[in-house]
Amino acid sequence: MYKQMQYFISVVNTKSFTKAAEECFISQSAISQQIKSLEEELDVKLLVRNKKAISLTPAGEYFYHHCKDIVQEVYELCKKTKEIEEDENVLKIGYLRDYHGKEIRESIIEFSNLYPHVSIELKIGNHEELYNYLVNDDLNLIISDQRRTFHDDYINYHLLHMDCYVEISNQHPLSNQTKLDVQDLKKETCILVASKEQQEIEQEFYKNIIGLKGKYIFVDGIEEARLLVTINKGFMPIEYANKPQLASKQIKAIPLYRHQKPIQRNYCAFWKKENSQYYVEEFAELLRNKLREKHQES
């Protein structure tokens, strides 16, 4: 019946058996026979045929509108089924460009040992890039901090609350503090890792949500940011899942507070509910266990 429904929609849309036959690459007599067979199967007259025009019966009108939705759903079902067959042995993961921990790498190694037949593809990006990758099905799973209200079409798998810190030069007068409030930094320069396209969004977030009201400068990578911190050109806000262990002795990591309370960020793994067949749940659970193990060790 699916093919007959497609032919019926084409006849109604073109208002012609001849044009519908051309559109569907079959003969006019064949498409006429298919519509006749459809009416016989339904035991309903769908079309009123005359020499000048084709019109719908009331039953045909009802069938046409619902038929379009069903045909589209079947098309999407077939398309998705094909994609799953093609991608079932690939897990596509995205994570933030400025992520510097070892947990993702360790989770990938463990996952690959468990599922050696599944290859893993990685992409990095900023928050908006990762979100768009997920929406457009370029990725199966993204790892990011929560910046949007959770959406019902997605699994929002909580990984960990990460503590916010400020990396600051040992030369800076504030470096001797055991904690820093956002008010302490209102006259200081904030260094952010962000692409040109992302700078406005990142500044708005850190200024209006986190509460850092000073000046901002932007760099392309975390190493460049740390170099500026080292020579006392500003501070860098950053999150840690566990106690920070800095490679440079010229930098100190100090917990960041707001209104006398430590600031934490909610990190999650996100994926579409319809894509749970891509081993995402197994990988997300592995990653969460790794993050929480490291957090408990610190």
Question: Would you say 162 and 241 are in contact if contact means Cβ atoms under 8 Å apart?
Answer: yes
What string of DSSP letters covers 160-196? EEEEEEEEEETTSGGGG-S-EEGGGGTTSEEEEE--G
Q: For position 230, what pLDDT does the model report?
A: 95
What is the rounded CA–CA span in Å between residue 292 and residue 72? 44
What per-residue string of b and e applies to 271-293 under the rule 16 or more CB within 10 Å gives b? bbeebeebbbebbbebbbebbee
Q: For position 56, what pLDDT does the model report?
A: 87
Question: Would you say 236 and 137 are in contact if contact means Cβ atoms under 8 Å apart?
Answer: no
End-to-end, the C-alpha distance of the chain in Å comes to 63
What is the rounded CA–CA span in Å between residue 224 and residue 194? 11
Q: For position 233, what pLDDT does the model report?
A: 96
Q: Of 288, 98, 68, which is closest to residue 193 (Cα–Cα)?
A: 98
Which residue has 């909610």 as its token pair? 266
Alpha carbon distances (Å) from 201 to 95, 127, 193:
18, 9, 12
Kind plus residue range of the DSSP H or E element containing 159: strand 154-169
> Which tokens belong to 34?
């298919």
Q: For position 11, what pLDDT does the model report?
A: 87
Q: For position 276, what pLDDT does the model report?
A: 65
Alpha carbon distances (Å) from 28 to 20, 24, 44, 253:
8, 10, 21, 77
Report the chain's C-alpha Rg in angstroms. Answer: 29
What is the rounded CA–CA span in Å between residue 146 and residue 78? 33
Q: Of 219, 220, 223, 221, which is closest to residue 189 (Cα–Cα)?
A: 219
Question: Would you say 92 and 276 are in contact if contact means Cβ atoms under 8 Å apart?
Answer: no
What is the rounded CA–CA span in Å between residue 90 and residue 137? 13
pLDDT in tens, the chain (298 residues): 888 888 888 888 888 888 888 888 888 888 889 888 888 888 989 888 877 788 889 988 898 888 888 888 888 887 766 665 555 688 999 998 767 678 888 999 999 998 888 889 999 888 888 888 998 889 999 998 877 666 788 888 888 888 899 999 999 999 999 999 999 999 999 999 888 888 898 899 899 989 999 999 999 888 899 999 999 999 999 887 666 666 578 999 999 999 889 998 888 899 988 776 668 888 999 999 988 886 665 5
